[in-house]
């Protein structure tokens, strides 16, 4: 069974199209430094969110298995850690917004509708 097309013929078609429309080409320069910062901040943000979920799970899971006075002490300690991680997450969000607003391309990208996961 033969498709009727092969890679060399498709390459010729694509090259011909690119040749005909070369005057419409717009070069795009990625703000690579800013994107790298956003990637790093996004990873850190995800890590903090995961840690907050783990700590919240600890508080809810251990309620039934500890004496009330020890649980209250541990819950207060974990609440402080969760608050600290929440503040760090908010700071990361602010930094990410600052980076996006500093670049016209990234600001435009942020205004586009996001796909539904």
For 5-56, how does the pLDDT look when each residue is reduced to its tens digit (9 = 90+)?
Answer: 678 888 888 888 888 888 887 776 665 788 889 999 999 999 999 999 999 9
Q: Which among 90, 93, 82 has a CA at the least distance from the CA of 41?
A: 93
Task: Sketch the domain layout of the chain as residue ranges.
Answer: 32-111
Residue 82 burial by CB count (10 A; 0-12/13-18/19+): exposed, middle or buried? Answer: middle
CA-CA distance, 4 to 109, in Å (whole number)?
40
Residues 55-61 have a mean pLDDT of 86
| Mean pLDDT (the chain, rounded) | 85
């Amino acid at each position: 069974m033969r498709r009727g097309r092969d890679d060399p013929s498709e390459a010729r078609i694509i090259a011909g199209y690119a040749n005909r429309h070369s005057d419409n080409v717009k070069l795009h320069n990625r703000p690579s430094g800013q994107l790298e910062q956003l990637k790093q901040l996004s990873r850190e943000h995800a890590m903090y969110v995961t840690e907050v979920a783990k700590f919240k799970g600890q508080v809810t899971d251990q309620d039934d298995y500890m004496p009330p006075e020890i649980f209250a002490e541990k819950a207060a300690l974990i609440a402080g850690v969760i608050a600290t991680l929440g503040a760090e997450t908010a700071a990361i969000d602010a930094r990410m917004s600052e980076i996006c607003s500093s670049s016209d391309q990234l600001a435009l990208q942020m205004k586009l509708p996001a796909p539904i996961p």
